[in-house]
Each structure stands twice: as structure tokens, then as C-alpha cells.
Amino acid sequence: MAKITASVYTSHVPAIGAAMDLHKTHEDYWKPLFAGYDFSKQWMKDNKPDVVFLVYNDHATAFSLDLIPTFAIGTAAEFQPADEGWGPRPVPKVVGHPELASHIAQSVIQQDFDLTIVNKMEVDHGLTVPLSLMCGELDPVKDAWPVKVIPFAVNVVQYPVPSGKRCFALGQAIRKAVESFDEDLNVHIWGTGGMSHQLQGARAGLINREWDNQWLDQMINDPVACANTPHIDYVREAGSEGIELVMWLIARGAMADVNDGKVTGPLPTIKHLFYHVPASNTAVGHVILENA
């Protein structure tokens, strides 16, 4: 049986990828940010999963205003890093797990979540920056990512976006799906994006440390209440791009036993917790939770 043993949460700021690609991680501006991921890279080596189910958002790269899937699962054998304006990032191609992805699509759709199935897609910074942060710098040709990845794209760019409650429930369906896959696979689920940031308009540059930290605490310790946060709270408190945080609730939902709307069973173990301002225009949050 496949099993979700851990979840990872991290911001996905594109400038972090650029800092790695241009070898600037030792610069004073970046040092404290990358120091927050030293533990994580070692943890990733010590707890290497077979597959990462990577929840992220596409930033009008593979999709556009022509086509806006709310939830899209990548079932392809591989996914190339996208050109977002400066050429594709110099990182290895992303290798998928079509068998597990197809099984999850079947199971989750039968649990009444209407996923879009994507057999061809390029992946942007939303997916490759979290991989770089957790796996370190790799040669695009000689190296390979140490894990297979199932990309799972969520629309948090164009309204209407899915609610935190829907995302949390979807996470539970994904867990059921993984646990009904026959092969023994160690699966991690990642929730990415956030935390507070706003890239445009009158409030561009907004950061809200107090709200971010309250949200982090509630996401870990009372995820049902956290999932009930209305989307307008994200926008008001964490800025227009703060809504990316609903993706963390998919990963958290996959780590929760819920009965009658209440979490039962032990809370996951917090292996790592990191918060840093600023990275580009964003407050960076990062958590690693292991299943108790």
C-alpha cells in the first residue's frame, strides 16, 4: 500500500530560483533565507520519498485566461521547466509517476472532486522553486531530481478561486486515493505558495507577520478552523497573492484524520518551522510535518 508519511510547506518566490541559478545564495540578502532550508535538504536526504505529490499554482504559464482549471493533475511521464521570460530555469526535467497519478485521478474524481487531467504541461517557478529549495542545486543535464513528482495545479490566480474548506477536503480525498494504491510507495505531499504578499496595486509590498504566524499556528494545530478562513480574509490580511496559502490546506488535509468535522488522532510532528521576511516581495514560510 502507498502511504503519505510527511508533508512539506514552502513559499515559491521566483527570485529564490534566480538566486540559486545565478549562484547568489551566499550574498548577505539571501544567506538567512537559504539557512532556513539547510535542515530541510538534509531531512529530504534522510527521508527521501518515492514520490512527491506537489500542490502548486501555475502563474499563467501552462494555462492562461483561455483555460482555467480549478484543480489539475499532471499524469504525464515528464514535465519540462517552462520559459517564464528569461529562458527555462537550468534545472533537470521533472519526472512524473503516471500510474499513481492516474490512480489518484480515478479515485479522487469518484470521490466527487472534478479534476482536470493534464497529459502535457510545462511547469513554472511554482513547482521548480520548492523542488530546488528542498533538493539543492542540481546540474540540468548530468543530474536528476531525486524524487518522482506528481504536479497538482490549483487556480489561485483568476477569481473565483477554491475555498480553503474545499482544499482541505480534497486533501483528505487524495490521502484515501494514495492509500488505495497497491504498490508500496512512500509519498510526501507538498503545499506551496504564500505567505503574505501582494505584487500589484495600491497595497503592493504588503507583508503581515502577525497574521502569517497566527495562520501557521492554526494550520498546524487546528486545521479545520484554519480551513474555514474565508477567502476575503486572505486578501485583506495577506494581500492579493496571500490566497496562494489555500494550497497548503490540501497538504494539511492529507495529514488529518477527520471525523464529523473534527480532527481525531494525534497531530503530526513538527520537524521544522521557518519564517523569514523578505524574499523579493514575499514573507517566506516553511514547515515540515511528519505523520505521527
- Which grid cell is 237? 490580511
- Cβ atoms of 153 and 62 within 8 Å: the answer is yes
Q: Is 280 in the site for ligand DHB (CB under 6 A)?
A: yes
Tell me which stretch binds ligand DHB (CB under 6 A): 7-15, 21-29, 229-237, 260-268.
7-15
Tell me which stretch binds ligand DHB (CB under 6 A): 11-19, 41-49, 132-140, 162-170.
11-19
**Best CA proximity match to 128, nearest among 17, 52, 30:** 17
Considering CB under 6 A, how many residues would be counted as binding ligand DHB? 11
Between 178 and 279, CB nearer to ligand DHB? 279
Helices 98-110 and 164-179 sit at what angle, rounded to 10 degrees?
Answer: 120
Pairing of strands 186-192, 78-79: unpaired
Smallest distance, Å, CB 244 to ligand DHB? Answer: 6
* CA–CA dist 193, 157 (Å, integer): 11
Q: Is 197 in the site for ligand DHB (CB under 6 A)?
A: yes
Residues 41 to 100 in contact with ligand DHB, rule: CB under 6 A: 59
125 is catalytic: yes
The DSSP symbol for 23 reads T
**Phi then psi for 122, rounded to 5 degrees?**
-95, 150
Tell me which stretch binds ligand DHB (CB under 6 A): 6-14, 47-55, 64-72, 176-184.
6-14
Residue of 12, 97, 125, 286 marked active site: 125
* CA–CA dist 248, 194 (Å, integer): 9
Q: Is 286 in the site for ligand DHB (CB under 6 A)?
A: no
**Phi then psi for 95, rounded to 5 degrees?**
-95, 125
Instruction: Judge if the upstream peptide bond of residue 20 is cis by omega within 30 degrees of 0.
Output: no
Work out which of 13, 55, 178, 287 binds ligand DHB, going by CB under 6 A: 13
Smallest distance, Å, CB 150 to ligand DHB? Answer: 21
59 is catalytic: no
Please list the active-site residues.
Answer: 125, 197
The site for ligand DHB (CB under 6 A) is made up of 12-15, 59, 197, 199, 241, 280-282
